[in-house]
């Protein structure tokens, strides 16, 4: 970037169980990000909404915990680890930066719902999160495993998908001839929905990806949903192949 005269303003990263990919940044790559931030003299925004939801693998230290000069801005949330209806998060960073964030927050929405803040406060004060998070992990682990099993049993052999150690999402890549955005309407008719991959790219270069969420449906619904999604892929593939043959 330096050679092209383009310098980054900051680094934004979801290091744990990335949305949408479900991937986790290794310790070595986290350290490398810190080196880059120091080299460019820029901050790192570490967004960690899913970090507490670890189902397998070893816990990796946060980038903030390795921060040598307080340049890492750390963000977390209660909505992913406690309950979706509690739309409240938190930021840890340098004092002057936090003061500016407070002013911006007030200008945007006149501050957060006070009742939600009191609920979050009581969650922490009474150690509710310490008791609840292990229960959530137990439930989500079963759902994650169910989805990975269902994908292995039903998806076409030319498909691939992430195997997340935590979080809520699986990232699937299907036949490159299939456009998952165009396929979505057919999938909804078959009773299952996903987020098409183009929603997560700054351009539309890759169109055969999808994000699948396993946190909400039950285990039986996951198995049935993946079967329906696999059937949708078969239908879409047959139509695309047929159209290609007719065009030839």
Instruction: Please report the domains of the chain, with CATH numbers, ordered by start residue.
Output: 11-126 (3.40.640.10), 130-247 (3.90.1150.10)
- Kind and range of the H or E run holding 172: strand 169-173
Q: Are strands 72-77 and 160-161 parallel, antiparallel or unpaired?
A: unpaired
Are 79 and 89 within 8 A, CB to CB? yes
pLDDT at 243: 66
pLDDT at 126: 94
Q: Could you give the C-alpha distances from 6 to 2, 12, 43, 171, in angstroms and in order?
A: 6, 17, 16, 31
pLDDT at 167: 97
Residue 171 CA, chain-centre distance (Å), reads 9
Cα–Cα dist 56/169, whole Å: 14
Strand ranges of the sheet holding 160-161, from the earlier edge strand across to the other edge: 160-161, 169-173, 209-213, 195-196
pLDDT at 244: 64
pLDDT mean values, one per 10 residues, the chain (248 residues) = 80 97 97 96 97 96 95 95 87 94 88 88 91 95 99 97 98 96 97 96 86 97 98 94 63
Cα–Cα dist 92/96, whole Å: 11
pLDDT at 77: 94
Q: Over the stretch 36-82, which tens digit does the pLDDT of each residue have? A: 999 999 999 999 999 999 999 999 999 999 998 999 999 999 999 88
Cα–Cα dist 161/211, whole Å: 10
pLDDT at 98: 94
Are 197 and 48 within 8 A, CB to CB? no
Residues 6+ apart with CB under 8 A from 82: 123, 128, 129, 132
- Kind and range of the H or E run holding 28: helix 27-40
CA dihedral 123, 82, 145, 206 (to 10 degrees): -140
DSSP reduced 3-state for 89: strand
Cα–Cα dist 176/208, whole Å: 6
């Amino acid at each position: 970037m330096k050679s092209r005269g383009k310098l980054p303003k900051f680094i934004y990263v979801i290091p744990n169980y990335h949305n949408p990919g479900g991937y986790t940044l290794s310790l070595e790559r986290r350290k490398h990000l810190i080196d880059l931030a120091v080299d460019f003299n820029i901050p790192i925004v570490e967004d960690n909404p899913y970090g507490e939801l670890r189902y397998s693998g070893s816990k990796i230290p946060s980038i903030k915990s390795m921060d040598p000069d307080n340049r890492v801005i750390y963000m977390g949330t209660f909505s992913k680890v406690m309950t979706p209806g509690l739309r409240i998060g938190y930021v840890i960073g340098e004092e002057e930066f936090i003061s500016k964030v407070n002013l911006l927050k007030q200008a945007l929405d006149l501050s957060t719902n006070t009742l939600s803040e009191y609920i979050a406060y009581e969650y922490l004060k009474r150690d509710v999160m310490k008791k609840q998070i292990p229960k959530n992990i137990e439930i989500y682990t079963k759902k994650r495993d169910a989805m990975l099993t269902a994908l292995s049993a039903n998806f076409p052999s030319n498909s691939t998908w992430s195997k997340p150690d935590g979080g809520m999402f699986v990232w699937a890549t299907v036949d490159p001839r299939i456009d998952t955005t165009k396929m979505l309407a057919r999938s909804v008719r078959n009773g299952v929905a996903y987020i098409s991959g183009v929603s997560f790219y700054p351009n539309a270069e890759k169109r055969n990806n999808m994000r699948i969420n396993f946190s909400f449906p039950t285990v039986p619904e996951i198995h049935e949903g993946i079967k329906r999604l696999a059937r949708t892929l078969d239908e879409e593939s047959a139509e695309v192949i047929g159209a290609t043959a007719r065009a030839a």
